[in-house]
Amino acid sequence: MANSKVCVLGAGSTKYGKLNESIIEIALNAAKDAIESAGITPKDIQAGYISNVFGVADKQVHMAPVIMSNLGISHVPGLTIESACGSGSVMFREAYANVAAGFYDCVLALGVEKVTHTGTVHSTTLFSYCSDFFYEGGNGASFPGLFASMARAYMNTHKATEEDLAHVAVKNHENGLLNPKAHVRKKITVDDVLKSPVVASPLKLLDCCPFSDGASATILCSEEFAKKSGRPYVEIIGSGRGASPAAVQGREDITTIPSTVAAARQAYKMAGVTPKDINFAEVHDCFTIAEVIDIEDLGFFPKGKAAHAVRDGATRLNGEIPINPSGGLKSKGHPIGATGVGQVVEVFEQFTGMAGERTVPNAEIALTHNFGATGASAAVHIFKKVDRK
């Protein structure tokens, strides 16, 4: 049935960090966890959607058929999707749309990346290919440099400080300590952030997320399939996608990301909710300034107020609007193709009683936000906890 409700029935994830297994082995580990979580078998899966960016670094492209074959379902069609750092959420939307349209009742949506083995210089070079390379990466404008420009513009416009940004990192590391699968489980202080080496002023090393390996997977299905399963599930109630000029230089205001604003507007409208209805959110915090800009663009705080709100504790687990209870990219890690899917895994765990000490109390509605590069592409999804009593 077209436009039917779509649910997340299962979710699984590897640890994020430096992993020794091959990219396919990493993907299969997450897939098996998600399949077991959903209480299904691979034979129940009717299509596979895989997000990946740098499979070539582990000598594997055309990845979806390889994963389907290794799951024992080589006859099941698979599709590999790339949208830079936003690949996971863009892929998740495609999987969602195909189930909503009635093409499939049950699909695998999986993101995976393995890049740490290439070394910092090579992996940084690979990441630069996600920019508008002719204008940016190819001329030395790295992602730290581009986000540093955004940070400087924001600080000058809104009288924010480097210390305000440091509070984002401190909060996300606090959350990451509660996540056994996080890449960087280390408590830090504002002073630690401010004294860490400068990467691109005003951003320091501890303002930046790590490169990570890892995979996250979800099982999406129709509401009818979910109800028949007898298992816990989460409903997807809103989905949106947006776009921005690929190069930062093409934007009128670099303290906002137009793709986020557009995607959020669509998702809120579809879900019939407002930012005030969101109980927690997983957002794209590749750098501390990104989280500050995100939570304004998503409507949680007025323009220019988010940095001060973070400093005042509004985004902590016990705050007004908890942001990145998983630890975010900053602490949980950033396996680029898996990041957006990992955000959904966090929502599933929060809503099905598996988040442990990082559980957001009484949460009913959550949002995930993931963008590519400096925000050239973005997707936002909104989820509702299902009361099965």
Residue that the structure tokens 């299904």 belong to:
40
Burial of 158 (0-12, 13-18, 19+ CB in 10 A): middle
Q: Is the pLDDT of residue 2 over 60?
A: no
Cis peptide before 202 (omega within 30 of 0): yes
Q: Which residues contact 127 (CB under 8 A, 6 or more apart)?
A: 143, 211, 336
Convert the pLDDT of each residue in 224-281 to its tens digit: 999 999 999 999 999 999 999 999 999 999 999 999 999 999 999 999 999 999 999 9
pLDDT at 3 (0 to 100): 58
pLDDT at 367 (0 to 100): 99
Q: What is the mean pLDDT of residues 352-377?
A: 97
Mean pLDDT estimate for the chain: 96
Domains of the chain: 6-118+212-234 (3.40.47.10), 140-207+237-385 (3.40.47.10)
Q: What is the mean pLDDT of residues 298-324?
A: 97
At 320, list the tokens. 């007004």
Q: What is the mean pLDDT of residues 207-225?
A: 97
| Spatial separation of the C-alpha atoms in residues 344 and 236, rounded to whole Å | 10
Question: What is the per-residue DSSP string for 157-206?
Answer: HHT--HHHHHHHHHHHHHHHTT-TT-S------HHHHHHSPEEETTEEGG
Q: What is the mean pLDDT of residues 75-101?
A: 98
Q: Which residues contact 56 (CB under 8 A, 6 or more apart)?
A: none
The number of angstroms, rounded, from the C-alpha of 30 to the middle of its chain's C-alpha atoms is 16
pLDDT at 1 (0 to 100): 36
Residue that the structure tokens 């630890």 belong to:
327
Q: Is the pLDDT of residue 387 over 90?
A: no
pLDDT at 120 (0 to 100): 86
- Judge contact between 384 and 235, C-beta under 8 A: yes
Q: Is 97 helix (H, G, I), strand (E, B) or coil?
A: helix
What is the widest separation between alpha-carbon atoms in the chain? 58
Q: Is 383 helix (H, G, I), strand (E, B) or coil?
A: strand
Convert the pLDDT of each residue in 122-178 to its tens digit: 888 888 989 999 999 999 999 999 999 999 999 999 999 999 999 999 999 999 999
Burial of 62 (0-12, 13-18, 19+ CB in 10 A): exposed
Convert the pLDDT of each residue in 149-163 to its tens digit: 999 999 999 999 999
Active site residues: 85, 334
